[in-house]
Structure 1
Amino acid sequence: MAHMFIFGLGYSAKVIKSSLERIGWSVSATGREGDFAFADTRAVQTALERASHVLSSVPPAEEVDPVLETYGDALGKRWLGYLSSSGVYGDTGGAWVDESAPTGTGRRTARAEADARWLDLGARVFRLPGIYGPGRSALERVRSGRARRIDLPGQVFSRVHVEDIARGVIAALEAPNGAYNLADDLPASQNDVVEEACRLLGVEAPPLLSLEAADLSPTARGFYAENRRVANGKARRLLGWRPRYPTYREGLRALARRSWPAAQ
């Protein structure tokens, strides 16, 4: 039986695990909801010996990749996957980027270095934009009063539904190694997404604020510091991947129906 070992059973990895198990895979993982503690090196290395495939969703910590630093020598010549970020491309002023674009010029230098190291090992590296899905979308932010509309004309972002990430990883199980952007087909401003969530919930959109007046966290301000559109053509060509939710509209509509059947 094919066995996937996942480092870091976080939000996206849990959906990947469930998707693999539905098609008959055995999956084990590190993490609070996983099978092993990351620091239990004996148990992890024993599990790695049984694994036919290894996927890491662990981001850099203190400028290094914990998985590569601790277990890099045990990864071997098996299928490897890594959940990276489209943040490795940095700010492009709203221009499109594909996998041939330079990396390491933005604020996520440690992520770019980890991305490059996994590529050197022959991994399938999945570069992900803003991730949303059940329990983590503009719908929750609107309902909780945390949604913001920021007055930044021309600012756009790409995003991807978490279920489409899982579909992309599964599509890459038999695909060549290399980098793959998994992003939907319609980069859009955060304002557009918030306004659509408000429409679905039948509430007024929050006021338009300047970046300074929005009182954002440093992480959120960093999000607005970059502006790019992420192209998904390579994943379409080589993986045969097609997003089930090609834009935020389909994604939010499906989430609203799942959580709030009365939403229109």
Structure 2
Amino acid sequence: MKLVIFGCGYSGMAIAKAFAAAGAHVCGTTRSAEKLDHLTAAGIEGFIFDGETLSPELAAAMRGTTHLVQSIAPRESGDPLINIAGSELATLMPELQWIGYLSTVGVYGDHQGAWVGEDTVCVPVSGRSKERLEAEQAWADTGAALGIPAAILRLSGIYGPGRNAFVNLERGTARRLIKKDQVFNRIRVEDIGGSALFLSKEKLGGIYNVTDDLPGPPQDVIVEAARLMGVEPPPEQAFETAELTPMARSFYGENKRVSNAKLKAAGFAFAFPNYPMSLAQMWQDRRWKTNTSELAK
């Protein structure tokens, strides 16, 4: 089994670790030489990919690929890999057996706190979510054209070692924003890796929500992390008057509870089904500061 991860960042590292543990040879792309060193340090065969051209070395690595994960965000012009490869993907990857595309639950848009599932009509609000939805369809069409399963993994708010409320509290950047009835789902990064491996082993395609069991108010996560650390949580701030970037404010414009029932019905068991037990595990194991390079080892 040979996996190539286009855009091997935080989630890609977790996917790399899961596949490597299953015996796969893992390759990954990044945009910079500095990050290339991080991939090498993590045991990943790394390549530079600028989103516009395939180097001869990367093209050679792709020829033996059996599994593909695409994590690079789309542009207004579409998905960068599809733009480059297009109908030539079968020629570039003649051994390809499975495709995984990392998307976002943001494609559902705002459902005023109601539960949503894979069959819920998507009404994306932001331009980036609309682009994601278009990229999802492009990869689904690509899989159908190639006759191989293409799994669309819709991810909720990603956290894990090195990226969590403990880190934010330590840095003094944690904020306890209060917006009435606002809830979010989350997903521990290792469960992204595990779900991608599971879907590939089961040769499953289609759309899957990769998200936890416990949608809830974002301020509750900060309070729980502070309790475990034995520190005072930051003071409450009203969302309406808080200073936020346009992107941060846009996240609060979408309110929904995302169901993971389909993925669990397929047979996947989440290692970290809710944030209280997940935070407790990170705190007890002292892994909350772990960086992404270490995560992939």
Which bin holds the TM-score, normalised by the shorter protein? over 0.9
CA distance in 2, matches of 1:71, 1:167: 27
User: Any idea what the Cα deviations from partners look like across 1:7-55, whole Å, max 9, x if unmatched?
Assistant: 0110010111112111211111111334211144322222111101111
Structure 1 match to 2:4: 5
Structure 1 match to 2:182: 155
Structure 2 match to 1:186: 214
Give the gaps of 5 or more residues in structure 1. none
Bigger shift: residues 24-33 or 160-169: 24-33
Give the alignment partner of residue 75 of structure 1, picking from 65, 74, 89.
89
The 1:45/1:186 distance shift into structure 2, 3 A limit, reads same
1:52 aligns with 2:66: yes
2:107·2:123 contact (CA, 8 Å) conserved in 1? yes
Give the alignment partner of residue 116 of structure 2, picking from 97, 104, 107.
97
2:161·2:287 contact (CA, 8 Å) conserved in 1? no
The 1:49/1:86 distance shift into structure 2, 3 A limit, reads same
Give the alignment partner of residue 41 of structure 1, picking from 51, 55, 67.
55
Instruction: Report the Cα offset of residue 251 of structure 1.
Output: 1.1
1:111 aligns with 2:132: yes
Residue identity (%): 39
CA distance in 2, matches of 1:152, 1:212: 8
**Which amino acid counterpart does residue 10 of structure 1 have in structure 2?**
G
1:121 aligns with 2:120: no
1:148·1:214 contact (CA, 8 Å) conserved in 2? no
**TM-score of the two chains, using structure 2 as the length reference:** 0.83
CA distance in 2, matches of 1:162, 1:74: 32
Instruction: Report the Cα offset of residue 71 of structure 1.
Output: 2.3
Bigger shift: residues 152-161 or 251-260: 251-260
**TM-score of the two chains, using structure 1 as the length reference:** 0.93
Give the match's secondary structure for 2:47: coil
Give the gaps of 5 or more residues in structure 2. 40-45, 91-95, 144-149, 289-297
Alignment RMSD, CA only? 1.7
The 1:110/1:219 distance shift into structure 2, 3 A limit, reads same
Give the match's secondary structure for 2:162: coil
Instruction: Report the Cα offset of residue 212 of structure 1.
Output: 4.0
Give the match's secondary structure for 1:103: coil
CA distance in 1, matches of 2:27, 2:168: 32
Give the match's secondary structure for 2:138: helix
**Which amino acid counterpart does residue 7 of structure 2 have in structure 1?**
G
**Which amino acid counterpart does residue 141 of structure 1 have in structure 2?**
N
2:188·2:278 contact (CA, 8 Å) conserved in 1? yes
CA distance in 2, matches of 1:12, 1:260: 16
Which one has more relative contact order, counting CA pairs under 8 Å at least 6 apart?
2
